Amino acid sequence: MAEAAVDAVDAAVHTVRARHEFRGMRTAEHYFTVPLDHFNAAPGKEDAAETITVFAREYVSADHSEAAAEQLPWLLYLQGGPGGRGNRLMSLGGWSKAAAKDFRILMLDQRGTGLSSPIDRNTLPARGDAAAQARYLEHFRADSIVADAELVRRALGSEPWSIYGQSYGGFCALTYLSFAPEGLREVLITGGLAPLTGSAERVYRETFKRVAARNAEYFGWYPEDRATVDRIARHLRSTDEFLPGGERLTVERFQMAGAFLGGNTRVDGLHNLLEDAFVDTPRGARLSDSFLEQLRSLVSRAGNPLYALMHESIYGQGSATDWAAWRVLREFPEFSPDAPELLLTGEMVYPWYFEQDQALRPLKEVAGLLAAKPDWKPLYDPLRLAANTVPAAAAVYTDDIYVERGLSLETAAAVRGLQVWESADFHHDGIADDGEAIFGRLLGMVRSVRD
């Protein structure tokens, strides 16, 4: 598996192209050349010679002299996703401020995102037809991301390093613990304990329940928004409204505004969105330009098409996912776009995304092939995790609508030595609200064991 693949290539080609200093921090831009296919990187194997670029930006506090910074240990940050590029920090704050006291932070653009051989509707056709594109995308899951990280670590000359995984980054951290634990000093995870076994359907049955409960909680806070949501749904069923760019806004696409529900303080932004919904015009009440512009950024995957393409594959191990969320949705009629009291949805991906989002339409066929893929490789090694010796700690959020609490605790119990801090004070994006305290708490937990 990934461990053998890492050993197949001794080092990545590494260059540093730019360095900058601003707002109390220094940055360096690192580029690495890595194999496309870590798992068949032997001579004569298909894709063995092909490489891609992986980008990462280093952040160091200017409180450290350059000489002192060179001696700091590395902290690799693994961003949420799939399909999300590494954070672009404008200054050190929250968890990064806390981390920069003791670490050089490496913010990775996971392969296919940001500056790491990016994937979208414009780049994928270079691979050939839909079947060729699907084969290419098989190399963009957590196992390949971990193999990249190990080559990056070696290229930087780092001893086993610390990693911090948020959301999908936590999934990647579990893959790291499974297949390359020798590269790890300690592991911190927030909102990202993936189920180690079982089908994607099991995940969505639990998360649909959480999203329904979060809807009820939200409308309890803002009962007037219950009427506004239903008014918008009725309006869209009878009147054509178009997003900036010309795409028709459908009821099911409006339901994607439920992304707000996964936030801690961000949830209240949903109310601010809805209060701008309607304006009076000579044609009667219509959705306002302000509302439609705000909604556009929520319902388009133009900025991270890999999320839509690869999302269900993160739960695929040994079988096809086959649009699991779409099939499970039928068990929850309260989420139907025709429901009399409309509920807003969470992170689920449905096949109609690839019909209604113009950034995804050219990718419809390849998305179907990925959904039907019957032989996704395992992403975790339960036996190795059960024997884990790397200090690890995870924050589990009681009411998380994206990574369900019960499944997270099940995973935590299966990883030897993994300490859990459960909190009902935060939701999935807790580190955006009090990242400094959360990071410090988890770091203290692993250090208490290691030291």
**Tens-place pLDDT, residues 233-268:** 999 999 999 999 899 999 999 999 999 999 888 999
- The confidence score (pLDDT) of residue 177 equals 98
Instruction: Mark whether 375 is an active-site residue.
Output: yes
Alpha carbons 32 and 15: distance in angstroms, whole number: 7
- What is the mean pLDDT of the segment spanning 108-136? 97
- The confidence score (pLDDT) of residue 48 equals 60
CB-based contacts of 169, cutoff 8 Å, min separation 6? 77, 78, 79, 80, 81, 189, 192
Mean pLDDT of the chain: 94
Sign of CA dihedral 287, 288, 291, 294: positive
Using CA atoms, how far residue 305 sits from 302, 309, 311, 342, in Å, is 6, 6, 10, 26
184-190 β-sheet, strand order: 13-22, 25-35, 51-61, 104-109, 74-78, 161-166, 184-190, 392-397, 418-423
**Residue 299 pLDDT more than 70?**
yes
- What is the mean pLDDT of the segment spanning 372-396? 97
- The confidence score (pLDDT) of residue 346 equals 78
Using CA atoms, how far residue 282 sits from 232, 246, 279, 285, 286, in Å, is 18, 21, 10, 8, 10
Q: Which of 129, 375, 425, 448 is catalytic?
A: 375
- What is the mean pLDDT of the segment spanning 371-392? 97
* String of DSSP letters for 374-422: S-PPPS--HHHHHT--S-EEEEEETT-SSS-HHHHHHHHHHSTTEEEEE
The pairing of beta strand 51-61 with beta strand 104-109: antiparallel
| pLDDT tens sequence across 184-237 | 999 999 999 999 999 999 999 999 999 999 999 999 999 999 999 999 999 999
Alpha carbons 220 and 161: distance in angstroms, whole number: 45
Domains of the chain, by residue range, sit at 2-196+380-450, 200-372
- What is the mean pLDDT of the segment spanning 350-360? 96
- What is the mean pLDDT of the segment spanning 289-293? 97
Instruction: Report the range of poorest mean pLDDT among 1-15, 123-137, 395-409.
Output: 1-15
- What is the mean pLDDT of the segment spanning 299-327? 95
- The confidence score (pLDDT) of residue 49 equals 82
Residue with the two structure tokens 């040994």:
318
Instruction: Mark whether 120 is an active-site residue.
Output: no
**Closest C-alpha to 77, from 174, 164, 145:** 164
Q: Which of 162, 427, 428, 429 is catalytic?
A: 428
- The confidence score (pLDDT) of residue 449 equals 81
- What is the mean pLDDT of the segment spanning 115-129? 96
- The confidence score (pLDDT) of residue 223 equals 97
Alpha carbons 190 and 205: distance in angstroms, whole number: 22
Vertex 388: Cα angle to 382 and 390 (nearest 5): 140
| pLDDT tens sequence across 328-340 | 999 999 999 999 9
| pLDDT tens sequence across 67-115 | 999 999 999 999 999 999 999 999 999 999 999 999 999 999 999 999 9
Over pLDDT 70: what percentage of the chain? 95
Tokens of 86: 């590494």
pLDDT class of 41 with cuts at 50, 70, 90:
low
Q: Which of 116, 167, 300, 408 is catalytic?
A: 167
- The confidence score (pLDDT) of residue 42 equals 53
- The confidence score (pLDDT) of residue 7 equals 41
Q: Note the CATH number of domain 2-196+380-450.
A: 3.40.50.1820
Over pLDDT 90: what percentage of the chain? 92
Residue with the two structure tokens 């990574």:
403
- The confidence score (pLDDT) of residue 3 equals 39
Instruction: Mark whether 167 is an active-site residue.
Output: yes
- What is the mean pLDDT of the segment spanning 163-171? 98
The C-alpha R_g of the chain, in whole angstroms, comes to 22
- The confidence score (pLDDT) of residue 2 equals 37
- The confidence score (pLDDT) of residue 4 equals 35
